[in-house]
A = this chain, B = another copy of it.
């Protein structure tokens, strides 16, 4: 009995010690090489003979050794961490972006740290400080109107990629959807469906990504020779209610539209409801097309025809740009990736 207890105690203590000092030195001792060599087996930063490498790797396996992450980071100045600043993670755009980003950066052993601004703006400042302090390798900024913060992150030596619109001027890599083509493609689609009296419900003035989508509508209408009738241009606020109100205003016209391009799905769904309540049949009396392809687009009746923006691909592209920038921090030229959309034909056109 006593013996048993002693043995167990002894074993536990050795185990404790072994765990407490299961560091690179322990591996080196067990393998009969120097810490230097163990380190190079881990990093691959310099050649190691095949025999030595095998020996070291076996020992690591047997001991269950894992390098200390913080010691590695402290020395290498690499945190293997990417930050994502998202305007509002409860908006489905951002989770899809996060998914794509993770998919891309995982292959470089990078992990995603999430900073959710909660829909507000004020948190971004604090996030930037936190991000700099944590010495992340890169950051994807998906918040608008934060030029100063983008540049500050860059100055701190962090690779930066922006997601969104209206960033053309800055010396920054960025990714966005092709809003102008979204607007013109949607408008063209309505025209191909036989419409020529085509209205639009845009977002609030000078707010991205609405400006580009409106510009696309204008371009298409002009190219089609239909011209732009100001009475067919209503302004919404991105919400369902705003879309409903805007549609009712459009229907008050002497010559109401037979089709409407809404700059996002929420407004399109609001317009759809308002149209049905006004006794119109959709798409027979009024065709409606939205943008975003949110979940609800396929759930409303009639199901909404819309423009699908592949948000995960935006995230993946952002990750790719980031990995490139991390590898080539001094490259002076900056890239802009325009991710292309597709049309999802359902029942409202």
A99 CA to B111 CA in the complex, in Å?
18
Assess whether B130 is in contact with A111, with CB atoms less than 8 Å apart. yes
Q: Which of B66, B73, B273, B296 lies in contact with A70, CB distance below 8 A? A: B73
Would B66 and A74 count as touching, CB distance under 8 A? no
Q: Does A132 contact B (CB under 8 A)?
A: yes
Cβ 8 A contact of A135, one of B69, B132, B298, B299 = B69
A118 interface contact, C-beta 8 A: yes
Give CA–CA (A83, B234) in the complex, Å. 45
Closest to A311 in B: B90
B111–A112 touching, CB < 8 Å: no
Interface status of A168 (Cβ within 8 A of chain B): no
A276:B299 contact, CB within 8 angstroms: no
On chain B, the residues within 8 Å of A112 by CB distance are: 113-114
A68 at the interface (CB under 8 A from B): yes
Question: Given A276-B301, A299-B269, A300-B300, A134 and B69 touching (CB < 8 A)?
Answer: yes
Closest Cβ–Cβ distance, residue A302 to chain B (whole Å): 10
Residues of chain A touching chain B, judged by Cβ–Cβ distance below 8 Å, are 66-71, 73-74, 79, 81, 84, 89-90, 92, 94-96, 98-99, 102-103, 111-116, 118, 130, 132-135, 240, 266, 269, 273, 276, 294-296, 298-301
Q: Can you report 15 residue pairs joining A to B where beta carbons are below 8 Å apart?
A: A66-B133, A67-B133, A69-B134, A70-B70, A89-B98, A90-B95, A92-B95, A94-B95, A102-B116, A103-B118, A111-B113, A112-B113, A240-B298, A276-B301, A300-B300
